Amino acid sequence: MRDMQGRFARRLAVLAVASVVLAACGKAEKAPTEPQASQTVTVQAVGMTSLPRRITASGDIVAWNEVVVGAETGGLTATQVLVDEGAWVRQGQPLVQMNDALLRAQLRQQEANVAAARAGVAQADAALRRARELKERGYLAQAGLDNAVASQATAAAQLSAAEAGLSEVRTRLSQATVRAPVAGLVASRKVVQGQIVAPGTELFRIVRDGRLELNAEVPETQLAQLRAGMPATIASDQLGEVPGSVRIITSQVDPQSRVGVARIALTTAGGFRPGMFARGVINVGEQPAITTPSLAVVYRDNKSGVFVIGAQSVVRFRPVVVGARTRDQVEITEGLTSGERIVVQGAGFLADGDHVRVVAK
C-alpha cells in the first residue's frame, strides 16, 4: 500500500512541474517582440519649390506667310527665269520675263491712236469756237451750233477711249515682267524658260520676309500655361538650335488627339526649311511644384517611387509620377502631398515594410 501511494505522489509532482513549464512557455509565446531596425536613413519633409517650367512639343516648320506668285497676263512665253528656289528676293524684283514683242507693238499703235484722238479733239474744239462766234453774230443757226457741240463731245470721248486702251496695253506690258509682290525667300519655282504661261498659273511661292514658325503640338492639359511672347528654343538634331517666341496659341483642340497648336516664330531661319520636323522647348516661367531630392526617387518593378515614413518608423513604397528635373531635385507631379516625410539617403537599399532608424543629416 505504501508503494502505491509513493508512486502516485511522484506522478503528481511530475504533472505539477510540467504544468509550470507549459505555463512559462505560453507566457513566452505571448510576449510581444520588438521589430529590429534594418537600415539607418535620413528623412526629409516634402515641400513646395518654385521651379523653372518648360513645355516640350514637336511639329512641322511652316512659313509664317506664304505668298503664291502667279501670271496675270496669259498666252506669253517665258523668255527668262531670273531666280531659283532658295533665293532671297526684294519686293518688286523681277522674277520672270515673258515675250512682250506683241505688246510693245500694240503699245505703239495705241499711242498713235491717242495722238490722233487728241488732234481730233483740237479740231473739234476749234470748230466749236467758230460756231459760237458765228451764232453770236447771227450767221449760224442753232442746229449748226448743236452739231459742233456734238462733234466736240464725240472727239473727247474718242480721246478718252484711246487713252484707256493705251493704259490697258501699258498694264499688260508691265505684267509681262513678273515681279516679287513681297520680300522674302523663294520656297518653290514652277516655271521654266520657254513655257507658255496661262493666266493665273502659279510660278513661285515666296515665304514672306523669310519668316518661319514651328506648329508645335501641345497637349490640351498644358495649353493653359502658354502665353504669346513666351521665349522658346527650336531644335533639330541636324541643324542645332535657334531662338524663338510663341506668336499665337490656336483656339481649337483636335477632338481625336486632344492636342492644340502653339505657333512659335523663329527669330532666324538657321537652316530650317518649310516641311522640316523640329521640336520646341517653351519656357513658361517659374511655378510652384512639389519637389524631392533626386536620391529619394527609386525604382521598383519599373515604377518610380519614394519610401514614405509611417508609424513606428516603418517605410512604405509609394509610386509617384516624375516631372521636371534639376541637378539635385525632382518634381513630383502625382503621388505626394506637401508635408509628408520621405527617406532620402538609404532609400535605394529599402524594401516595402522595412523598419528604419532615422538619423539627422
Q: Which of 143, 135, 167, 268 is nearest to 213 (CA)?
A: 268
Q: What is the mean pLDDT of residues 58-87?
A: 92
Tally of domains in the chain: 3
Whole-number pLDDT of residue 29: 46
The answer to whether position 7 is within a domain reads no
Whole-number pLDDT of residue 161: 95
Same domain, 320 and 222: no
The answer to whether position 15 is within a domain reads no
The answer to whether position 201 is within a domain reads no
Same domain, 124 and 162: yes
- CATH code, domain with 335: 2.40.420.20
Whole-number pLDDT of residue 302: 87
Whole-number pLDDT of residue 36: 55
Whole-number pLDDT of residue 35: 52
pLDDT in tens, 266-318: 998 888 988 899 999 999 888 888 888 888 999 988 899 999 998 888 999 99
| Residues 207 and 274 sit within 8 Å (Cβ to Cβ) | yes
Q: Which of 160, 208, 163 is nearest to 181 (CA)?
A: 208
Q: Which of 286, 304, 327 is where one domain is finished?
A: 286
Q: Which of 159, 189, 219 is where one domain is finished?
A: 189
pLDDT at 27 over 50: no
Whole-number pLDDT of residue 10: 53
The answer to whether position 28 is within a domain reads no
Same domain, 300 and 310: yes
**More confident call, 19 vs 212:** 212
Q: Nine-digit cell at 270?
A: 538657321
DSSP 8-state assignment for residue 349: G
pLDDT at 30 over 50: no
Q: Which of 248, 270, 286 is where one domain is finished?
A: 286
Residue that has been written with the C-alpha cell 539627422 in this structure: 360
Same domain, 75 and 169: yes
- Amino acid making up residue 18: A
Euclidean distance between CA atoms 9 and 12, whole angstroms: 5
The answer to whether position 139 is within a domain reads yes
| Residues 121 and 157 sit within 8 Å (Cβ to Cβ) | no
> Which residues lie closer than 8 Å to 153 by C-beta, 6 or more apart?
none
Q: What is the mean pLDDT of residues 111-116?
A: 94
Whole-number pLDDT of residue 197: 93
The answer to whether position 115 is within a domain reads yes
Q: Nine-digit cell at 339?
A: 508635408
Q: What residue numbers bound the domain in which 263 lies?
A: 56-64+211-286
pLDDT in tens, 219-260: 998 888 899 999 999 999 888 899 999 999 988 898 999 999
3-state secondary structure 218-286: EEHHHHCCCCCCCEEEEEECCCEEEEEEEEEEEEEECCCCCEEEEEEEECCCCCCCCCCEEEEEEEEEE
The answer to whether position 13 is within a domain reads no
The answer to whether position 128 is within a domain reads yes
